[in-house]
């Protein structure tokens, strides 16, 4: 019972942090009406994007995990205190939550339905998880980092210290974030990854789905709620080991699950907003953020996300009959391509960082 309560507290912690980080961006988006769900979605990406910038140097400097945990918790505290202390931010929050309250009073059923869908999917994700061989690597990496107070210096498959850094996973700091949380809060890696992060990814997946539905149906509450329900049914009846639904329901805590169920549709959402207004600089900055933070979550992003961004911006170029959207798309995917270049160089022995 205590473990369940602790997991709920950790879920609340993540949601508060995502909302705080997202508010740094959304309160400054003058052309965009403040949205709680959009703020939390953006905050998820901003959180991991900033964490990568801090964690990668700490990894190569071979700093103790406890140092990274201290640095990161201080930064998180500063962000939360800053957004809470901002009068403009507080006013926008009060208006947004008051709007949710009034909407819930007018349409209680369609306010409750998305919440029930998220709760049901979270239960499925936690109860149905299976142990693929990848779990050995991911959970082993976090466990070794926590109990040796290092940052990915040990091979989780052998338990021995690596001779050189694994470049492919060094920039994917998703696991390092889990290790930081485990170190800071004293939570076991299995509980943090398979339970807490399993539910967190489920919630963020539904945030993305909700925002896409809200965009497609122009804010219609009933139609948006129906699409969230339909998305759950699609996931329930199409999951296999080789679909994004399978990763979401069976392996929700893994980086590839986040890539297939959160990052790819979130990039699609930004592309749809760019189709509406490709001259809005805020959407291009968000696309750059999503590309950069995608590599912080899953190493597979360095190949998949450039393909998606290239295809979407190329289509936008054809529809708008203007070459600039595609050129901007190439600039946005630069972080992915840079990490891909370093990884290829490491496989050829051209970029090797000894431990």
Each residue's pLDDT tens digit, 253-268: 888 889 999 999 999 9
Instruction: Check residue 64 and give its pLDDT.
Output: 95
d(CA 240, CA 250): 9
Judge whether residue 69 has pLDDT over 90: yes
Contact 332, 284 (CB under 8 A): yes
Instruction: Check residue 252 and give its pLDDT.
Output: 83
Contact 139, 131 (CB under 8 A): no
Instruction: Check residue 176 and give its pLDDT.
Output: 94
Predicted structure pTM score:
0.92
3-state secondary structure string across 242-273: CCHHHHHHHCCCCHHHHHHHHHHHHHHHHHHH
Going by pLDDT thresholds of 50, 70 and 90, the confidence category of residue 349 is confident
Contact 119, 34 (CB under 8 A): no
d(CA 240, CA 99): 39
Judge whether residue 272 has pLDDT over 70: yes
Instruction: Check residue 295 and give its pLDDT.
Output: 92
Instruction: Check residue 144 and give its pLDDT.
Output: 92
Nearest CA among 49, 238, 246 for reference residue 134: 246
Instruction: Work out the average pLDDT over 279-283.
Output: 89
d(CA 72, CA 91): 28
Instruction: Check residue 1 and give its pLDDT.
Output: 56
Going by pLDDT thresholds of 50, 70 and 90, the confidence category of residue 89 is low
Helices (H), 171-300: 174-185, 189-190, 198-216, 221-238, 244-250, 255-258, 264-276, 281-297
Going by pLDDT thresholds of 50, 70 and 90, the confidence category of residue 88 is low
Q: How far is CA 67 from CA 40, 49, 59, 240, 311, in A?
A: 27, 19, 11, 40, 41
Instruction: Check residue 224 and give its pLDDT.
Output: 86
Q: What is the mean pLDDT of the chain?
A: 87
Q: Which of 69-78, 175-184, 216-225, 257-266 comes out lowest in average pLDDT?
A: 216-225
Going by pLDDT thresholds of 50, 70 and 90, the confidence category of residue 3 is low
* Helix (H), strand (E) counts: the chain: 18, 0
Contact 100, 210 (CB under 8 A): no
Nearest CA among 270, 303, 263, 306 for reference residue 286: 270
Contact 347, 153 (CB under 8 A): no
Each residue's pLDDT tens digit, 50-63: 999 999 999 999 99
Going by pLDDT thresholds of 50, 70 and 90, the confidence category of residue 301 is very high
- Name the strand (E) or helix (H) holding 311: helix 301-320
Higher pLDDT, 190 or 267: 267
d(CA 41, CA 208): 7
Q: Which residues fall within 8 angstroms of residue 236, CB to CB, at 6 or more apart?
A: 124, 245, 249
Instruction: Check residue 257 and give its pLDDT.
Output: 87
Is the sign of the CA dihedral 117, 123, 127, 130 positive or negative? positive
Q: Which of 78-82, 93-97, 223-227, 265-269 comes out lowest in average pLDDT?
A: 93-97
Instruction: Check residue 2 and give its pLDDT.
Output: 64
Q: Which residues lie across from 161 on neighbouring strands?
A: 154
Q: Residues of the chain with pLDDT > 70: what percent?
A: 95
Exposed, middle or buried by CB within 10 Å (0-12, 13-18, 19+), for 354?
A: exposed
Q: Which of 34-43, 130-139, 343-352 comes out lowest in average pLDDT?
A: 130-139
Q: Which residues fall within 8 angstroms of residue 342, CB to CB, at 6 or more apart?
A: 167, 171, 351
Contact 45, 289 (CB under 8 A): yes
Q: How far is CA 102 from CA 27, 56, 97, 121, in A?
A: 21, 44, 9, 26
């Amino acid at each position: 019972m205590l473990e369940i309560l602790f997991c709920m507290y950790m879920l609340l912690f993540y949601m508060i942090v995502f909302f705080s980080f997202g508010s740094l961006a959304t309160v400054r988006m003058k052309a965009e009406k403040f949205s709680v769900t959009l703020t939390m979605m953006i905050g998820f990406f901003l959180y991991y994007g900033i964490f990568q910038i801090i964690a990668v140097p700490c990894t190569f400097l071979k700093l103790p995990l406890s140092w990274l945990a201290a640095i990161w918790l201080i930064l998180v505290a500063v962000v939360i205190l800053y957004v809470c202390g901002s009068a403009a931010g507080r006013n926008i929050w009060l208006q947004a939550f008051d709007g949710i309250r009034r909407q819930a009073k007018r349409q209680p059923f369609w306010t409750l339905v998305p919440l029930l869908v998220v709760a049901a999917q979270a239960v499925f994700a936690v109860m149905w998880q299976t142990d693929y061989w990848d779990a050995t690597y991911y959970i082993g990496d976090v466990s070794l980092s926590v109990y040796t107070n290092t940052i990915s210096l040990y091979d989780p498959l052998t338990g021995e210290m690596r001779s050189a850094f694994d470049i492919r996973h060094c920039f994917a700091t998703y696991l390092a974030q889990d290790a930081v949380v485990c170190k800071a809060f004293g939570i076991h890696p299995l509980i943090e990854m398979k339970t807490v992060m399993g539910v967190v990814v489920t919630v963020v997946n539904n945030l993305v789905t909700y925002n896409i539905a809200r965009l497609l149906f122009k804010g219609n509450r009933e139609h948006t709620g129906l699409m969230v329900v339909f998305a759950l049914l699609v996931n329930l009846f199409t999951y296999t080991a080789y679909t994004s639904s399978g990763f979401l329901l069976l392996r929700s805590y893994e980086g590839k699950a986040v890539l297939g169920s959160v990052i790819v549709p979130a990039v699609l959402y930004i592309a749809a907003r760019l189709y509406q207004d490709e001259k809005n600089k805020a959407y291009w900055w968000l696309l750059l953020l999503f590309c950069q933070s995608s590599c912080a979550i899953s190493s597979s992003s360095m190949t998949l996300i450039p393909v998606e961004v290239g295809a979407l911006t190329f289509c936008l170029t054809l529809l708008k009959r203007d070459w600039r959207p595609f050129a901007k798309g190439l600039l946005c995917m630069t972080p992915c391509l840079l990490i891909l270049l370093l990884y290829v160089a490491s496989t050829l022995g051209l970029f090797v960082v000894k431990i």
